[in-house]
Amino acid sequence: QREPWLRDAMLAFGRGEAVVGLKSFSDRGHVHHHLDRASTISALVDRWEAATAAAPEKSTLMIAATNADVRAISHEVRQRFRRDGALRDEDIVVAARSPSGQNVELPLAVGDHIRFLRRADFEGHQIINGTEATVAGLSKERTGEVRIVARIAEKLLSFTTSEIADA
């Protein structure tokens, strides 16, 4: 953290002094209250959209307390992407594993952004944990498996979900 107040607030959280940490955020207008879960998620995504529009070259992180919250936030973001034309074609649902090891159904469409959670080698291109890509194509194969074409920088890579699944 570059700002002293932020560093101090994070240290307070680390010491278990949540009230002190939250007060630092609240004093600077960074704590917002809403009526219910749905309005909280909508407001969070509104602020994320505004921050992304103001500085598209920067990465803006949304943090959630539970996997259920992550799914709800992701659903809201994807609805807006679809509204704005950033997601195309129909969703194809693939079996996936969350970073916490939970099995989930992951809807994917052309335009979705994905992150690889393990090392892999495709067509001579090394993928490392954390590599980000944009889905450029999706298709179901005769076997029922999903083939993904992903753009990483200017390179297109093609793979099936089983080729990237955790062992």
**Which pLDDT score is estimated for 19?**
95
pLDDT at 67 over 60: yes
Note the pTM of the prediction, 2 decimals.
0.77
Across the range 7-21, mean pLDDT stands at: 94
Contact (Cβ atoms closer than 8 angstroms) between residue 72 and residue 37: yes
SS (H, E, C) 127-153: ECCCCEEEEEEEEECCCCCEEEEEEEC
CB contact at 8 A, 93 and 105: yes
Predicted confidence at residue 1, as pLDDT, reads: 66
- Is residue 166 very low, low, confident or very high in pLDDT (cuts 50, 70, 90)? low
Q: 47 in helix, strand or coil?
A: helix
Instruction: Please name every residue paired with 114 in a beta bridge, in sequence order, or none if there are none.
Output: 133
- pLDDT above 60: residue 167: no
pLDDT at 41: 96
